[in-house]
């Protein structure tokens, strides 16, 4: 059985915990089911920003109001997640998964029939609450089934969500925008499919999941000293801010940018957004397994530094190069998230649900605040100015210099 060691060069390095108990293999059926459910969940979520132009026209909304919809959704999707993860670390509640998707189902139904701005905000809040319940427990189930390949399992889980996010704009362009707001109700079928999958996963988790978690607990790493943990979390927070503020600028306002700057028809702009989100899914899929091999920190370096030249060029190129550069940005920048999640779980071992809740919650929270702030800036200075400003965000990736090492060698 292979041994693990770290590449840290000081006495505070993480050391492995040895055990003679066997570790189960990678349970691809369980991990695949969590990824599929994640895809359903995130496809529903992705439809919301994809229909912002339709809602803006139908209800005569400002960019600031569009940003407020994102803020309400993202905040409700973020605030509950760490607390749900912390509670279920101590008191597992696997059947929260289908219950959370039921809340999302209610949000979709309300969005389809919303007749005013407050109803839209309420619907966005319900979808956010459903998401906050889903992510910590589903991420934990993927980790349970990883067989110790935590990065690969997290990457597979996350790429399911990113694939769903990519298909959200496509679904909006082909089904919802041509047929109007009421057609949002078709998404309820997707939520029902997810409820069936999540019920099966909850049954597996209740019977076997936590036993698997205990078996491959041998692969967990001891805690860093508190000062190093604090340093690592500060760096991760900076990187999450840079990544998800930049992603929010593209996922929420890219269609507006294309329509405004290049006079692109809305349906074609949605296709461009789909191409970007599909690239995000591919990049996420690559990031986890690579992180298992070369270490989380190396993946983060490549992700942030590699995207800098493309982000700086983006506001100054023509339509074709805009599409090419956004695809490259999606591929490279997205590889960091799975690495950051597993890195955080390594520095705070034994709190997989809480850490997943914090990471996904932070992702949604930053995305919501960024969407609201960027919307206000777009009203004041124009959408082109916003993209010129966001081009500098990846430079914060140099904070990776201060990440304590947790790279594992086999």
Residue 222 pLDDT more than 70?
A: no
- pLDDT > 90 in the chain, percent: 23
Instruction: Say if residue 195's pLDDT is above 90.
Output: yes
Evaluate whether residue 363 is within a structural domain.
yes
Structure token pair of residue 370: 């960024």
Tally of structural domains, the chain: 1
pLDDT of 264 > 60? The answer is yes
Residue 15 lies in a domain: no
pTM over 0.75: no
Tell me whether residue 14 is in a domain: no
Parent domain of 243: 25-409
CA atoms of 42 and 184, how far apart (whole Å): 15
Average of per-residue pLDDT values in the chain: 80
- Is 382 part of any domain? yes
Q: Is residue 326 part of a domain?
A: yes
Q: Is residue 13 part of a domain?
A: no
What is the arithmetic mean of pLDDT over 298-311? 90
Q: What residues contact 103, with CB distance under 8 A and at least 6 apart?
A: 126, 129, 130, 133
Q: Is residue 349 part of a domain?
A: yes
Least confident of 284-293, 321-330, 354-363, 367-376: 354-363
Higher pLDDT, 400 or 337: 400
DSSP string, 307-365: HHHHHHHGGGS-HHHHHHHHHHHHHHHTTHHHHHHHHHHHHSTT-HHHHHHHHHHHHHH
What CATH number is given to the structural domain containing 390?
A: 1.20.1250.20
The mean per-residue pLDDT over the stretch 146-158 comes to 78
In this prediction, residues 242-255 reach a mean pLDDT of 86
Q: Which residues contact 320 (CB under 8 A, 6 or more apart)?
A: none
User: Which residues, 6 or more positions from 22, have their beta carbon under 8 angstroms from its beta carbon?
Assistant: 215
Per-residue pLDDT tens digits for 365-379? 676 678 778 888 888
Does residue 408 sit in helix, strand or coil? strand
Does 221 reside within a domain? yes
- pLDDT digits 0-9 by tens, 318-327: 999 999 999 9
Report residue 392 as tokens. 């500098």
Quote the pLDDT of residue 21: 43
User: pLDDT, tens digit, for every residue of 51-81?
Assistant: 888 888 888 888 888 888 878 887 787 777 7
């Amino acid at each position: 059985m292979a041994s693990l060691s770290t590449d840290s060069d000081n006495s505070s390095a993480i050391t492995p915990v040895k055990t003679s108990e066997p570790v189960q293999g990678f349970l691809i059926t369980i991990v695949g089911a969590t990824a599929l459910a994640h895809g359903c969940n995130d496809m529903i979520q992705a439809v919301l920003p994809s229909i912002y132009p339709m809602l803006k026209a139908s209800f005569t909304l400002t960019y600031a109001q569009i940003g407020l919809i994102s803020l309400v959704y993202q905040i409700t999707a973020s605030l509950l997640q760490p607390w749900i993860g912390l509670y279920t670390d101590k008191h597992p509640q696997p059947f929260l998964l289908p219950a959370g998707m039921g809340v999302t189902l209610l949000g979709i139904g309300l969005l389809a029939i919303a007749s005013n701005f407050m109803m839209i905000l309420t619907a966005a809040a319900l979808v956010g609450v459903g998401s906050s319940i889903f992510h910590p427990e589903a991420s934990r189930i993927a980790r349970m089934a990883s067989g110790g390949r935590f990065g690969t399992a997290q990457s597979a889980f996350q790429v399911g969500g990113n694939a769903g996010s990519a298909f959200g704009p496509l679904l909006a362009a082909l089904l919802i925008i041509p047929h109007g707001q009421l057609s949002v109700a078709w998404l309820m079928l997707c939520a029902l499919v997810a409820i069936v999958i999540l019920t099966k996963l909850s049954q597996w988790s209740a019977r076997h999941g936590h036993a698997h978690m205990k078996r491959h607990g041998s692969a967990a790493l001891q805690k860093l000293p508190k000062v190093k943990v604090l340093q690592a979390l500060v760096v991760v927070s900076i990187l999450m801010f840079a990544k998800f503020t930049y992603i929010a600028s593209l996922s929420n306002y890219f269609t507006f940018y294309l329509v405004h700057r290049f006079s692109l028809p809305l349906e074609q702009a949605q296709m461009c957004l789909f191409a970007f989100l599909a690239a995000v899914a591919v990049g996420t899929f690559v990031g986890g397994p690579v992180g298992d091999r070369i270490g989380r920190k190396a993946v983060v370096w490549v992700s942030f530094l590699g995207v800098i030249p493309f982000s700086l060029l983006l506001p100054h190129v023509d339509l074709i190069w805009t599409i090419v550069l956004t695809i490259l940005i999606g591929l490279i920048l997205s590889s960091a998230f799975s690495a950051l999640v597993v890195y955080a779980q390594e520095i705070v071992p034994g709190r997989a649900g809480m850490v997943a809740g914090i990471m996904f919650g932070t992702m949604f929270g930053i995305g919501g605040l960024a969407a609201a702030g960027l919307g206000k800036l777009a009203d004041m200075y124009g959408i082109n100015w916003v993209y010129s400003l966001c081009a500098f965000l990846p430079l914060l990736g140099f904070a990776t210099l201060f990440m304590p090492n947790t790279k594992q060698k086999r």
